[in-house]
Structure 1
């Protein structure tokens, strides 16, 4: 056992009111404890129901180090299982997605299971007669994840038996998902393409923090987005129309004052978003016919309420970011203490003009891809931080910007858009969900 083990006090001590210890980013033991405690205790996004449109469709995912799979059964219900055969433990599905037909078949010994997880058949089943097999867990089929919620087609799971309910965990923060879905004239989103997958050599929390860090864009992205803006201004000539590409990356060069006034909203349990009053998505050109479609569906007042909510980045703790205004979700998947796989998904607004999907795809390529205008700037900063945190000159990371004495935790508040309070909010949640149920697990082990 290492320095931290299952010592809740030692883990809590890594998070101060406005500082966190470097070990939360660089210590492999802390990473292992996150896999064991933090992710099972949290509600984790694993996929979208549109990826399971037909009976037999399946997707795979990991929560911490637990391999999972979700499938659509013949009655239309979605089921989530642990991705292992109850016989010898072989993973049933190794692909990210597919259609299994009417049943799953283990590739090792051909045990087969219905798409609701129940055991269908075993070769030479007579070999189990008189062995007590019906009384074993293996006879029940694939082990199901008990805590599953499909919220507006977003599939979330909590692996721990004990913890906050879905409603208590997310609360008002679900309004970002609501807004993204409501932007469809039919109230539906669809995944119709694979995500951009991009490996980052850094700790997963660096990516999460960066989503609400508004003091870096005009600095880190000056050489990329800043240069692109200068080139456009030089070359635009007599054009009065700003190309979609320039509309997407130019706002990254907005000044500090813009972000201060835009604001940040924090919610309990580590959730929060930038862009309360304004955001980098506010001034995109209208798409012909779209507003009229929305008004026809929702009425004038409600349609403008939906379209007027242009939040920038919403963090759903611990590890996804949602951009409702451009229908993008980024999943920060921890691989190792210094390695994170990022999946950037684009959702199509069902029934909306194709131009909106085109804009979302362009944003994803320009901002989130390894060959993007912007994303590689962030990656360089993450890698420099991962290396720099090995320095013994200072073992604490400062998150003190606009910190106020007596600052309350687990509250809803709107704050200055350049505050680091959302990062402090995330680390309060980190400590809480890292240590939740820890004492019970220690007692059980003893």
Structure 2
């Protein structure tokens, strides 16, 4: 991009039914995107089961900034900028751990902080007397993250001071988290099985678009479906299937199935793919678990939980939720052409082991970079990143099922193959990118 980035020039990159290729290619735009878009919106940071005990911590990079998420002595979750107030060194570099003491200590010059970030001690105090250090930003300690919300065990942060409240930002989209948590008779989830982490060499938007793209499985994953079909010759449709077969075969549905799944768009870019059905709708029965769920939540709620299995729910822009199986994907942009994708699995406390087995198997089968499914997707994302640099056409098509009425209608229901779910993301992107820019 050659001209200065104003609010008007940014909004011009998003048309009603197209987006400009600079959204995927411009390093200048990506830097601004980290500061403004990701800083102004709520991002998924982690889950409380990752810090079950006092003094447990995790580190995470969000909006281009290093954050420290910890549990203090009273059991409260805190989010601090992982940057010593003295020289800017990151205090903790491990992905997770135990603090081992009731304070935070910089490894460089031993400046120490209380768990709320307040400056506790530093060497050679006499050398700072009369210098104004205590009154400066350096003397104020570790900066807390501007926005922090723990919702049913899911930890979200908003880095910038300005921006919508958690409740206003997510609205009805948090029902996807309720649906996932309520699959536990005790209302508790625990992350288990580690994380599948994959670095892909493309812009983060390609991956997120694909989550809501139900047209690609017919062609992109044709070989994976054929492989599964060749291994499953059982003619009795009621015969129990191995997990891998149960989870891959539905990808072979025709276009009509995916179109009929239904979709729903919400304010701020959130969406539901598969409001009526999905590739997860036909999983096998779970026996006595159904009774346990009804006893915990009532017959009506239990039925709603078990019968509603969307393909994907996107809590835009960093979190994609699959209530069945119990998995999430987290999108972590690193550079304009590099993105880290994390797949985490949940054990449903009080639920059968089969639920967790499905989550683990699905992640390995579909999200692993070496899987027969993800390999297809990642190859195409990286080819998109390269391909958009070629040719005279600067615009990417999002025309499918466009209707001008959608510009003024949210929430809105649509068919399962509509690109409205993707168009809705970019309208939210433009709005939040320009919140603080003239």
- Cα distance change, pair 123–186 in 1 and its aligned pair in 2 (3 A): same
SS at match of 1:344: strand
Rounded Cα–Cα distance in structure 1 between residues aligned with 2:115 and 2:385: 43
Retained in 1: the 8 A contact 2:406–2:412? no
SS at match of 2:303: helix
Query: Counterpart of 1:65?
Result: 64
Compute the TM-score of the two structures, normalised by the length of structure 1.
0.94
Q: Note the C-alpha offset of 1:68.
A: 0.7
Retained in 2: the 8 A contact 1:202–1:382? yes
Query: Counterpart of 1:266?
Result: 265
Query: Counterpart of 2:30?
Result: 31
Q: Note the C-alpha offset of 1:168.
A: 1.1
- Cα distance change, pair 387–110 in 1 and its aligned pair in 2 (3 A): same
SS at match of 1:134: coil
For these two proteins, the number of residue pairs brought into alignment is 437
Rounded Cα–Cα distance in structure 2 between residues aligned with 1:329 and 1:79: 22
Rounded Cα–Cα distance in structure 2 between residues aligned with 1:9 and 1:136: 37
Q: Note the C-alpha offset of 1:410.
A: 6.1
- Cα distance change, pair 4–172 in 1 and its aligned pair in 2 (3 A): farther
Q: Note the C-alpha offset of 1:238.
A: 11
Q: Superposition pairs for residues 272-351 of structure 1, below 5 Å?
A: 272-351=271-350
Deviations 1:143-199 (A, max 9, x none): 111211111111111122112111111111111111011111111111133210011
Which has the larger displacement, 329-338 or 222-231? 222-231
Query: Counterpart of 1:228?
Result: 228
Query: Counterpart of 2:402?
Result: 403
Retained in 1: the 8 A contact 2:63–2:159? no
Q: Superposition pairs for residues 11-30 of structure 1, below 5 Å?
A: 11-30=10-29
Rounded Cα–Cα distance in structure 1 between residues aligned with 2:169 and 2:239: 47
Q: Superposition pairs for residues 46-125 of structure 1, below 5 Å?
A: 46-101=45-100, 102-125=102-125
- Cα distance change, pair 300–406 in 1 and its aligned pair in 2 (3 A): closer
Retained in 2: the 8 A contact 1:225–1:253? yes
Rounded Cα–Cα distance in structure 1 between residues aligned with 2:47 and 2:357: 20
Question: Over aligned residue pairs, what C-alpha RMSD do you find?
Answer: 1.7
Rounded Cα–Cα distance in structure 1 between residues aligned with 2:195 and 2:177: 18
Rounded Cα–Cα distance in structure 2 between residues aligned with 1:111 and 1:157: 26
Rounded Cα–Cα distance in structure 2 between residues aligned with 1:379 and 1:330: 15
SS at match of 1:54: coil
Q: Superposition pairs for residues 415-430 of structure 1, below 5 Å?
A: 415-430=414-429
Q: Note the C-alpha offset of 1:121.
A: 2.2
Deviations 1:414-445 (A, max 9, x none): 10111000110001011111111112xxxxxx
Query: Counterpart of 1:355?
Result: 354
Rounded Cα–Cα distance in structure 1 between residues aligned with 2:316 and 2:341: 15
1:138 partnered with 2:143: no
Rounded Cα–Cα distance in structure 1 between residues aligned with 2:241 and 2:18: 42
Retained in 2: the 8 A contact 1:267–1:410? no
Q: Note the C-alpha offset of 1:67.
A: 0.9
Rounded Cα–Cα distance in structure 2 between residues aligned with 1:218 and 1:281: 16
Retained in 1: the 8 A contact 2:224–2:248? no
- Cα distance change, pair 327–410 in 1 and its aligned pair in 2 (3 A): farther
SS at match of 1:168: helix
Rounded Cα–Cα distance in structure 2 between residues aligned with 1:241 and 1:307: 19
Rounded Cα–Cα distance in structure 1 between residues aligned with 2:3 and 2:263: 33
- Cα distance change, pair 409–37 in 1 and its aligned pair in 2 (3 A): farther
Query: Counterpart of 1:444?
Result: none
Q: Note the C-alpha offset of 1:274.
A: 0.7
Rounded Cα–Cα distance in structure 1 between residues aligned with 2:37 and 2:319: 14
- For structure 2, the 5+ residue unaligned runs are none
SS at match of 1:195: strand
Compute the TM-score of the two structures, normalised by the length of structure 2.
0.96
Retained in 2: the 8 A contact 1:71–1:116? no
Q: Note the C-alpha offset of 1:239.
A: 9.5
Rounded Cα–Cα distance in structure 2 between residues aligned with 1:36 and 1:260: 37
Q: Note the C-alpha offset of 1:118.
A: 2.2
SS at match of 1:117: coil
